[in-house]
Amino acid sequence: MFDSKYEWRTSEADPEKAGRLAQELSVSPLVGSLLAARGINSAEEAALFLNGSLDALHDPFLLLGMKEAVPRIQKAVETGEHILIYGDYDADGVSSTSLMIHFMRYLGASYDIYIPHRSNEGYGLHNHALDWAHQQGVSLIITVDTGISAVEQIAYANSLGMDVIVTDHHEPPEVLPDAYALINPKQPNCPYPFKGLAGVGVAYKLTQAMLGQPPVEWTEIVAIGTIADLMPLSGENRILVSRGLEQMRSSAFPGIRALMEVGGITMRNVTSTNVAFGMAPRINASGRLDHAGSAVALLTTEDEDEALRLSHGLDELNKERQQVVDDIVQEATSQLLAKTDGSRVPDVIVLAGEGWNVGVVGIVASKILERYYRPVIILGIDPDTGMCKGSARSIPGLDIYEALTSCKSLMDHYGGHPSAAGMSLHRDQLDAFEQALNEYAAGVLTESDFIPVAASDGEWRLSDVPLSVIDEMEMLSPFGMANPVPKFIFRNCRLLETRKMGRDSKHLKLLVQQDGIRLEVVAFGKGELAEVLMEGAELDLLGEMSVNEWNGSRRPQLMLQDLKLTQPQVFDLRGSNDPWQEIDRVSQLIGSHFRLGPTQVAAVLEREILDPAKIRLNESTLWVYDKNAGILAYHPNEERSGQDDVTTLFMLNAPETPEQLDAVLFSFPKLSNVFLLHQVHKRERLAVPDRDQFKKLYILLSRIAAEPVQEETALSRLSQQASCSIRMVTKMMDVFEELSFIDRQEGLIRFIPKPPKRDLASSRHFLALGNLAEMEQHLLYASTPQVTSWFISRMQGAS
């Protein structure tokens, strides 16, 4: 049994609606179902979804504050006022700032830009930056992707005689700043119909209000910021990103062309996925480890050579960022393990460390969340001032912005979204901060919130997704938030081949079959699972269909997200030099897929090795082989309350008898995963007995034991002459004695010339020898396929 890492949830489309759409649009039933599941109700809505143009964008003057902002900017341009564009250091902020630079150039305005340094200054407006702007003669500030919470700072700007126009998309606080104009679709009483714009999307709406139809190439920059900031790719965002990706395929910007080149992105095939994983991390790297100005320079340069230089610089920064993240993740994980010391992981994980680069703590939080599936806050501590700057990432069950709001008195600053946020506070407040967050979470989260969920687009057969349908699905792109890449469930697929691939064998490749159709399955970063997947097993798969293009051929391929097996599994790890280390390694490997609690794991072993087992398996239920009972729990209470929970068993020693093996299988009725860790070839080999073998031994015995002979001598001679082990001959002597063919007394054996006629099959020793030999043949000598198949059949027979 191999459970899925996620709970699979399917968004069921109305079959009637799906069928109607498929017919009206002349698409496959699968694509009709995908459209229906995304809320498309008619062919007209489908046309807008699939082919929406820039003409379908909403009137920018529906945004509250736009009517005030436009004439103020026009006046500033006409009178030559010096304008400051104040941005942010993430990819959305960089894109927003870059877009406004192109806008200022287009208008011929006098302008400057300011982006705070993430580590030295932190998020948002800062008074010292406003002082600098005032000294530069700035009279109008336009914020992009920031400003909605800057109540005190905007009041300070006003006191210096500077007007501030805020363009932002973050959640508005209860008290809004007294800006000249506030443009944010999420602010109270704003009638704008689409609330999901990125910061760069709001900035674009400002340019639209000013120009009517901005240059179409600007949508390239909008697409980058929207995708990078994980905004929903629906409504206006879908239109802007679609057009932006289309423009990128023949990009007008040297910086974007260079960025695609260094990211290994083919221009003609650029997708939202390329932007998210190839471009956005490199743009973000500038603000995380250096200053975001270099990324802004890249997106706004008109010089090819400068673009190449800047793009390669960002690439190097991104590689450095990856190493920094790995180091902090390791430190943070160690800190959490020491903090919990084996106890339950808290509902909200709060970790802080001196020297942790605050530019990457958000990425670290995401990686810790992925491992533990808890809301996570990672903070870097300034050892000189004691100030902590951090980032939060949350799960769907907890709105982290609301959680932070519940303890806002403990922080100097905070802001963000339901799923991600940033904050600053003094280290003296950390304990109270962590306690307050966990108290809030305890009243909001339930146990079901801690099970990660993977959405799917239904259960289908491999025959439903040929190449033609996979190609057809591309019409639903661009994919991203609110319009994810379709994920499908394929059940009862037989596993034909398993192998690792890639550098260091980190990746997994499977070949599966369903209804005679074969499909290659690729899982990145899951190479270790090759050790716990048996060929021939039946799998349920969850993944994304794609096309594998190689040397001119195109084949369907499944990019695996998750999998499960409903059958028992037996893993052959026999003969391990260090079974204790193997248990530790396997426990780490299978943890997320077997969903194991302390009562679900057991180990069975010989009593002689119990002491080291108690040290290494303190969280497992320990059982020992027993001559009479089969097996016994080391602690009696475990036998009463623990055995019904056990699903995973480590067998450190092979049983001595079939009765012991039966006792193991019957003691754990829910057993679904068995790891064989016993040594092999340690016992003299037994053969499954047959009548000819017994006949031959009987004749030999009649010759050497007509007169009483020492048993030890007889066994040695019989072993040599019959070509079988002394252990085997001894077992056969037990059969002869039971049938009164020999007499055993005081270490002597005497052959009985005329014994009563008895059938070998009537001997319990004969039957026991057959069962024992069969068990040992499989457990000690059989190949992996043989032992796993045999053991599974025994498990199924016991259930």
Task: Evaluate if residue 50 carries a pLDDT over 80.
Answer: yes
For residue 295, the one-letter residue type is A
Shortest CA distance to 140 belongs to which of 169, 170, 109? Answer: 109
Task: Evaluate if residue 798 carries a pLDDT over 70.
Answer: no
The secondary structure element, H or E, covering residue 321 is helix 304-340
| pLDDT on residue 526 | 85
| pLDDT on residue 615 | 61
Give the tokens for residue 736: 């002869």
| pLDDT on residue 594 | 62
Task: Evaluate if residue 760 carries a pLDDT over 60.
Answer: yes
Edge-to-edge order in the sheet of strand 163-167: 110-114, 82-86, 138-144, 163-167, 181-183
CA 97 to chain centre: 33
Predicted TM-score (pTM) above 0.75: yes
| pLDDT on residue 590 | 66
| pLDDT on residue 513 | 97
Q: Tell me how far apart the alpha carbons of residues 476 and 34 are, in angstroms, rounded to a whole number.
A: 9
517-533 burial by CB neighbour count: b if 16+ within 10 A, else e?
eebebbbeebbbbbebb
Own/partner long-range contacts of 695-704 (Cβ < 8 Å, ≥24 apart): 696/722, 697/722, 697/729, 697/732, 698/736, 698/741, 701/736, 701/741, 701/742, 701/749, 701/751, 702/751, 702/753
Note the pLDDT tens digit of each residue in 155-194. Answer: 999 999 999 999 999 989 999 999 999 999 999 999 999 9
Query: Among the listed ranges 297-306, 360-369, 440-449, 643-652, which one has the minimum average pLDDT value?
Result: 643-652
| pLDDT on residue 448 | 86
**Residue 246 DSSP symbol:** H
Shortest CA distance to 419 belongs to which of 349, 360, 342, 366? Answer: 366
Give the tokens for residue 613: 């087992």
Report CA-CA distances (Å) from 562 to 16, 512, 522, 569, 722: 29, 14, 11, 17, 55
Query: Among the listed ranges 51-55, 102-106, 597-601, which one has the minimum average pLDDT value?
Result: 597-601
| pLDDT on residue 162 | 98
| Residue 142 bridge partners (DSSP) | 85, 165
Q: Which residue has the higher pLDDT, 419 or 615?
A: 419
| pLDDT on residue 1 | 62
CB 485 within 8 A of CB 479: yes
Label residue 595 by pLDDT band (50, 70, 90): low
Mean pLDDT of the chain, nearest integer: 91
Label residue 620 by pLDDT band (50, 70, 90): low
Please tell me whether residue 687 adopts helix, strand or coil conformation.
coil
| pLDDT on residue 534 | 79
Label residue 31 by pLDDT band (50, 70, 90): very high
Task: Evaluate if residue 206 carries a pLDDT over 80.
Answer: yes
The per-residue DSSP string of 290-317 comes to S-THHHHHHHH---HHHHHHHHHHHHHH
Burial of 284 (0-12, 13-18, 19+ CB in 10 A): buried
Shortest CA distance to 289 belongs to which of 324, 256, 258? Answer: 324
Q: Tell me how far apart the alpha carbons of residues 456 and 713 are, in angstroms, rounded to a whole number.
A: 72
| pLDDT on residue 415 | 85
Note the pLDDT tens digit of each residue in 265-295. Answer: 999 889 999 999 999 999 999 988 889 999 9
Note the pLDDT tens digit of each residue in 544-585. Answer: 999 998 888 999 999 999 999 878 888 888 988 888 888 877
**Sequence-ordered strand ranges (E) for 257-364:** 349-354
| pLDDT on residue 613 | 62
The per-residue DSSP string of 767-795 comes to HHHHHHHHHHIIIIIS-HHHHHHHHHHHH
Please tell me whether residue 671 adopts helix, strand or coil conformation.
coil
> pLDDT exceeding 90 applies to what percent of the chain?
71
| pLDDT on residue 619 | 58
Mean pLDDT of 602-625: 76
Note the pLDDT tens digit of each residue in 322-374. Answer: 999 999 999 999 999 888 876 789 999 999 999 899 889 999 999 999 989 99
| pLDDT on residue 616 | 63
Within 13 Å and on the Cβ side, how many CA atoms surround 655? 27
The secondary structure element, H or E, covering residue 169 is none
Label each residue of 710-729 as H, E or C. Answer: EHHHHHHHHHHHHCCCHHHH
Label residue 122 by pLDDT band (50, 70, 90): confident
Mean pLDDT of 151-158: 97
Q: Tell me how far apart the alpha carbons of residues 268 and 277 are, in angstroms, rounded to a whole number.
A: 17
Q: Which residue has the higher pLDDT, 525 or 134?
A: 134
| Residue 533 bridge partners (DSSP) | none
Give the tokens for residue 579: 């079974």
Greatest alpha-carbon span in the chain: 129
| pLDDT on residue 71 | 98
Label residue 417 by pLDDT band (50, 70, 90): confident
Task: Evaluate if residue 635 carries a pLDDT over 80.
Answer: no
Domains present along the chain, CATH in parentheses = 7-48+455-565 (2.40.50.460), 57-316 (3.90.1640.30), 344-450 (3.10.310.30), 569-679 (3.40.50.300), 691-780 (1.10.10)
Give the tokens for residue 363: 């990425």
| pLDDT on residue 684 | 86
| pLDDT on residue 505 | 87
Mean pLDDT of 590-618: 71
Q: Which residue has the higher pLDDT, 105 or 12?
A: 105
Positive or negative torsion for Cα 118, 122, 123, 126: negative
| pLDDT on residue 641 | 54
Report cis status (omega within 30 of 0) of the bond before 478.
Answer: yes
Residue 254, C-beta contacts closer than 8 angstroms, at least 6 positions apart: 301, 302, 303, 304, 306, 307
- Sequence length of the chain is 799
